[in-house]
Amino acid sequence: MNAGTGLELILNAAEGALQIVVTEDETLLCAQEWRRPERATEILAPALREICTALGLRLADFRRLACVRGPGSFTGIRLVLATAAALRRTCPLRLAGLDYMQALAATLATARGVLYGAPIWTLTHARRNLVHCQPFRSYGPVIPPQPLQPVELCTPDEAARRIAQSRAHPTPPGTDAARRVWVCGSGLARNPHLAPLLENAPAPEGPAATFLPLTALPDLTSPSVTALRLLARHGDYFDRDPEPLYVRPCDAVENLPGLAPRLGLNPAAAVAALKEKLDRAPQSEI
């Protein structure tokens, strides 16, 4: 029995970049990154075709497909998951959904050799004055960091408050001398006041807690190939489509009452019709 992973495809378009990775039995064959989010829909299918041609492969040769399911760009998430769903219906492969926030945390852990037990916070831009926020615990550079809480939507200042609280570690001084708090993601890059605010936060008063040092990495805004491969290696693969991880509400849904009159629709009726469609159970697998 072949215990290898076989040919594996990894796709990510959750934020800013379209990433395509191909491995065979954990050996890297190809990695591409396209920083044209507005054209990702046009790029993905031709890029897959060219990759397969260059490597002498068919899409039917892939055994596993790991796709980043969010949170992030609605368009990017839908593009990747729809492509994965189509491939599952035409190729004998199994799918795994990867979490974008965990991919960023794994990127930091592998790049910086973060020690076991260190807290890693990922903050990504959701929309103006809102970030996706999630804490992780590092398990070293070869095991994916594990989430301590589900990803949440909050303001940048609320995220900073939560991170500051996590720096107060209730253990005697000296036991965690090598530990520090790490923060990364586009939520830092899009809110430039956060990094200095976090790094220069005053220690809380009182001797009960060790105030862990903090390093903010606002330039770390995309998963590395190493991190994507690590998560794919540890992913759970099934013969079904992964569910998208949408955290923030869709702008079009929230703006529907204002958009409906421009289309000649009654706002209340449009909202009710949309709710009925969103709550309706699917009638087929497609």
Q: What CATH number is given to the structural domain containing 112?
A: 3.30.420.40
Q: What local confidence, expressed as pLDDT, does residue 37 receive?
A: 79
Q: How far apart are CA 208 and CA 205, in angstroms?
A: 9
Amino acid code (one letter) for 119: P
Q: How far apart are CA 283 and CA 286, in angstroms?
A: 9
Average pLDDT over the chain, rounded to whole? 87
- For residues 43 and 34, the answer to whether their CB atoms sit within 8 Å is yes
Residue 243 located in a structural domain: no
Same domain? 13 vs 69: yes
pLDDT above 60 for 22: yes
pLDDT above 90 for 68: yes
Residue 246 located in a structural domain: no
Confidence class for position 256, pLDDT limits 50, 70, 90 = low
Same domain? 105 vs 95: no
Confidence class for position 247, pLDDT limits 50, 70, 90 = confident
> Which residue segment(s) compose the domain that 212 sits in?
101-217
Concatenate the DSSP letters of all residues of 208-269 into one string: SSEE--EEEETT--S--HHHHHHHHHT---BSSPPPP---SPPHHHHTHHHHGGGGT--HHH
Confidence class for position 261, pLDDT limits 50, 70, 90 = confident
Q: What local confidence, expressed as pLDDT, does residue 47 receive?
A: 96
Share of the chain above pLDDT 90, in %: 65
- For residues 191 and 156, the answer to whether their CB atoms sit within 8 Å is yes
In sequence order, the 6+-apart residues with CB closer than 8 A to the CB of 286 are 89
Q: What local confidence, expressed as pLDDT, does residue 1 receive?
A: 40
